[in-house]
Amino acid sequence: MKVIGLFFVFVAGCMAAIGQDLSYYLPQQVSYDQRVPTPASVIGHEVGEWHVTHDRLVSYMKAADQASDRIALHPLGLTNEGRQQLVLIITSPENHKRLESIRQEHVQLTESGRSGSLSVDKMPVVLWMGHSIHGNESSGANASLLSVYYLAAAQGKEIEQVLANTVILLDPSFNPDGLNRFASWVNMHKGVTPVSDPNAREFNEVWPGGRFNHYWFDLNRDWLPAQHKESQNRLAMFHQWKPNVLTDHHEMGSNASFFFQPGVPSRVNPNTPWKNQELTAAIGSYHAKFLDSIGSMYFTKEGYDDFYYGKGSTYPDINGSIGILFEQASSRGHQQDTENGLLTFPFTIRNQFVTAMSTLAAANGLRKELLDFQRDFFKDVSKEAAGYPVKAFVIGDENDKARTNIFIEMLLRHEVEIFELKQEYTMDGKSFKAGSAYVIPTNQKQFKIIKTVFEKTFEYKDSLFYDVTAWTMPLAFGLPYAEVKTLGSLTGSRLTKVPVVAASQSLVPGAYAYAFKWNEFYTPKLLYRLQSKGIIAKVATKPFRTMVNGKEESFGYGSIVVHSGMQAVQGAILSKLIEECARETGVDVYALPSGLARGGVDIGSSSFVVLRKPEVMMFGGVGTTAQDVGEIWHLLDTRFHVPVSIVDVERFAGANVGRYNVIIMPSGSYHNLGRSGHDKLRSWIAAGGTLIATEDATRYLADNGFTHSMFKGSDEKKDSTIQLPYYLRMDEARAKDMAGSLFAARVDLTHPLGYGYTNPQVTVFKSNTLFMDKHNGAYDTPVLYTGDPLQSGYLYRGYKNVVKNTAAINIDGMGTGRIISMVDNLNFRAFWLGTSKMFMNGVFFGSLIRP
Ligand SMILES: [Zn+2]
């Protein structure tokens, strides 16, 4: 096998190169089509001279598309900040003429019933090149300028042959908003005279940094949950094409070298076939040869893994594709002193470009193997699925259709086939109803996705993890589900799109009161909308039953009542206003004809408490964890349209906080809150405020005398006679991490934090080693871990007993206010919807809690 043709001969170069022209990067002995504009002629600077901004990157992609008949630009959609996501489809002009038939034939490889008759002899291989999903790991996106120029402009038989055999889907920037944030930062600090001192501001971004998307989420964890626009736009294209190889260009610490997969063999997810790793290694031999040819250092099989399917280099592995992670030591600016000498931005870009080219060479060299692998993968999946003991999962919550839908929508994005439930189905005491539950048969093409989404894992080959160890999605979403062993005739028609949740009835004007139950996901959105329109709403702290349209309806704890007589608007204006808000949120509202209940409390009872509209402040900036702040911002803003003022910890002491009634203290160190900030927070709480703290912030509050929470550590006995070999030192420490596992807790359904829940058992995500003792007060620990809490995931042996019966949430009083200490992250990655309701209850009902 000829690994490096003449075509891919690069010039070996040192690390110290800055402001290079194209000759530094591109293969030698190749002529280039003059009609294709160079990157510099469009973006206004040489590649690597400045960090490319996203708008300039897009300008170049458009110019290359205009100039080259090898390129077709395909817009994917817009990011939160309105930046364009796009993919360039790059292949020979002949292939472009029959692109749709190439695509259709290619996708047939994934249809086990039809793929047998296909010949792969002449079939192009499909290669997705993806860049800089972490915006501050920008050498990838900058290298994409070179890849596009080269693929568009290089001349000769060799490139023509490569393009005839390959369809390249090139995504220049997986995270446009983050890329642009980072580019602005490093460019604004670059002077005429280069500075390479790691202490300099250029290399130390301000909070939150460019790694994340607009809401400060790590998009390289979102491929599976797919809760973000960027992932949703991208997944649609991924499944349209089902690439054979997908590359994911990242950066790592500045003192490292270059990493390419395969990663740590013992940490490959068991759902990934071993052949995938063999092909990854075969592709890796190309990277090695190419990097050898330019004299760059690299390593493999260490540090990174293929376990969590939410990452770009692992998601393809469960889809018959090969995901490849690249990690380049980061210059984190234009040039930086490192342990390995001066690391320049152009040097990092060149390694990324060279490995993009080695992947292209590998995809061509291994074309038939990759295509055969894809076909075999889906044939094997089909056999495995047919023999799987669970024939279908039935899932859905009749009390929360919106949350059910968000789950269903997530699966549809992965092309999972889902059917309506045709008739009522009962299993293990759980009952599922047609109209609010769905059937997911396991014997289907995307069986592997279904398996990883539903399975619980307890066994691991390794005790070190790069990311979470479990993600059992129905538990995360808090949805009732059942395993069906005999499918029978449960399935109705197939879902082609997400069902619409519509508020059913139109409301009669002039009713005595209007009410809605608190169980639906979007109830906080409805309540906030009503409150912001001046409607006075009360919450039921005790349940009641009443007649509505001749039928008795039960309203549980937390139901919201709008008494008509209390409102500034009346009659049809009032009913129309409520009806409109209900329609926008899909929540059913009931018109109550009378104040007299048939059971429970009457509408005039003091068990109904007037709610104040939440005026929410949240700590952010230095001292807090950007992702945790971002998750809460995303929840309040995008799900419920509740505005939140994010205030820097350092500014708090000087802020006018009298305007807030809820302050959120997300995970963080709060080392910089200062004495006056500290005192201000105390007096604000004492005056009646609700402080909600999560994870590390609960520890800060306990250590600083705000709360009485006590924490405990591992109960493992130290054996002083054991002598362990030194090389195990790091691994031993990391095995004690809690990378992310699922634990069962019991919630008091009568407590304001439990309003809207119907099942007292919830699944909490835990990724810290804070174990909080239950408070002494009988009512002060509304959410408590069970005596046997592990539901899925890795748990270090020293914590097995410690976590039992600890508090998930403690309440402390201070003056007339209260502190809600949530020791774990109830809003993890925007899909842990089973517990985010509890968090929202803190925001809306915190003021009801009397410690
Ligand atoms: Zn990264």
What are the pLDDT digits (tens) for 450-501? 999 999 988 888 888 878 889 999 999 999 999 999 988 999 999 999 988 8
The alpha carbon of 217 and the centre of ligand 1 are apart by a number of angstroms equal to 12
The alpha carbon of 134 and the centre of ligand 1 are apart by a number of angstroms equal to 5
The alpha carbon of 218 and the centre of ligand 1 are apart by a number of angstroms equal to 9
The alpha carbon of 771 and the centre of ligand 1 are apart by a number of angstroms equal to 30
In a 10 Å sphere around its CB, with 0-12 CB exposed, 13-18 middle and 19+ buried, how is residue 552 labelled? exposed
The alpha carbon of 138 and the centre of ligand 1 are apart by a number of angstroms equal to 9
What's residue 418's pLDDT? 98
Contacts of 801 (CB under 8 A, 6+ apart): 715
Asked whether the bond before 782 is cis by omega within 30 degrees of 0, the reply is no
Return the percentage of the chain with pLDDT > 70, whole number: 98
What's residue 827's pLDDT? 97
Region 593-613 average pLDDT: 97
The alpha carbon of 758 and the centre of ligand 1 are apart by a number of angstroms equal to 40
What are the pLDDT digits (tens) for 695-754? 999 999 999 999 999 998 877 777 778 788 888 777 777 788 888 999 999 999 999 999
The alpha carbon of 735 and the centre of ligand 1 are apart by a number of angstroms equal to 22
The alpha carbon of 265 and the centre of ligand 1 are apart by a number of angstroms equal to 20
The alpha carbon of 728 and the centre of ligand 1 are apart by a number of angstroms equal to 26
Tell me: pLDDT of 13 over 70: no
Return the percentage of the chain with pLDDT > 90, whole number: 90
The angle at the Cα of 627, spanning 271 to 638, to the nearest 5 degrees, equals 95
Average pLDDT, the chain: 95
The alpha carbon of 777 and the centre of ligand 1 are apart by a number of angstroms equal to 45
What's residue 145's pLDDT? 98
**What DSSP character marks residue 667?**
S
* DSSP count for the chain of H helices, then E strands: 22, 35
What are the pLDDT digits (tens) for 793-850? 999 988 999 999 999 999 999 999 999 999 999 999 999 999 999 999 999 999 999 9
The alpha carbon of 779 and the centre of ligand 1 are apart by a number of angstroms equal to 44
What's residue 11's pLDDT? 66
The alpha carbon of 643 and the centre of ligand 1 are apart by a number of angstroms equal to 31
The alpha carbon of 131 and the centre of ligand 1 are apart by a number of angstroms equal to 10
Region 321-330 average pLDDT: 98
What's residue 3's pLDDT? 47
Among candidates 422, 286, 292, which has minimal Cα distance to 364? 286
What's residue 354's pLDDT? 98
The alpha carbon of 244 and the centre of ligand 1 are apart by a number of angstroms equal to 22
Instruction: Please report which confidence band the pLDDT of residue 392 belongs to, taking 50, 70 and 90 as the band edges.
Output: very high
The alpha carbon of 249 and the centre of ligand 1 are apart by a number of angstroms equal to 8
Tell me: pLDDT of 1 over 60: no
The alpha carbon of 586 and the centre of ligand 1 are apart by a number of angstroms equal to 38
The alpha carbon of 326 and the centre of ligand 1 are apart by a number of angstroms equal to 9
The alpha carbon of 250 and the centre of ligand 1 are apart by a number of angstroms equal to 4
What's residue 15's pLDDT? 55
Report the SS3 class of residue 237.
helix
d(CA 181, CA 137): 12
H/E stretch holding 369: helix 367-386
Region 185-199 average pLDDT: 97
Tell me: pLDDT of 293 over 80: yes
Instruction: Please report which confidence band the pLDDT of residue 503 belongs to, taking 50, 70 and 90 as the band edges.
Output: confident
The angle at the Cα of 681, spanning 675 to 684, to the nearest 5 degrees, equals 140
The alpha carbon of 836 and the centre of ligand 1 are apart by a number of angstroms equal to 27
Region 55-84 average pLDDT: 98
Region 247-275 average pLDDT: 96
Tell me: pLDDT of 44 over 70: yes
The alpha carbon of 360 and the centre of ligand 1 are apart by a number of angstroms equal to 21
Q: How far is CA 522 from CA 246, 613, 840, in A?
A: 37, 16, 10
**What DSSP character marks residue 601?**
-
The alpha carbon of 650 and the centre of ligand 1 are apart by a number of angstroms equal to 29
Query: For residue 441, what are its two tokens?
Result: 């048969």
The alpha carbon of 310 and the centre of ligand 1 are apart by a number of angstroms equal to 13
Tell me: pLDDT of 214 over 90: yes
In the chain, how long is the greatest CA-to-CA distance? 89
What's residue 122's pLDDT? 95
Region 282-298 average pLDDT: 97
Instruction: Please report which confidence band the pLDDT of residue 90 belongs to, taking 50, 70 and 90 as the band edges.
Output: very high
The alpha carbon of 137 and the centre of ligand 1 are apart by a number of angstroms equal to 6
Region 346-363 average pLDDT: 98
The alpha carbon of 349 and the centre of ligand 1 are apart by a number of angstroms equal to 15
Q: Which residues of 802-811 are buried (b: 16+ CB within 10 A; e: fewer)?
A: bbebbbbbbb
Region 60-84 average pLDDT: 98
Residue with the two structure tokens 């505005």: 643
d(CA 667, CA 51): 32
The pTM assigned to this predicted structure is: 0.96
The angle at the Cα of 532, spanning 527 to 534, to the nearest 5 degrees, equals 100
For helices 447-454 and 401-413, angle between their N-to-C axes, nearest 10 degrees: 140
What's residue 5's pLDDT? 56
What's residue 6's pLDDT? 47
What are the pLDDT digits (tens) for 111-155? 999 999 999 999 999 999 999 999 999 999 999 999 999 999 999
Whether 822 and 698 have beta carbons less than 8 Å apart is answered as yes
What's residue 477's pLDDT? 98
Tell me: pLDDT of 562 over 70: yes
The alpha carbon of 133 and the centre of ligand 1 are apart by a number of angstroms equal to 7
The alpha carbon of 106 and the centre of ligand 1 are apart by a number of angstroms equal to 30
Answer with the residue of higher pLDDT: 612 or 499.
612
The alpha carbon of 467 and the centre of ligand 1 are apart by a number of angstroms equal to 13
The alpha carbon of 612 and the centre of ligand 1 are apart by a number of angstroms equal to 43
d(CA 244, CA 372): 10
H/E stretch holding 358: helix 345-365
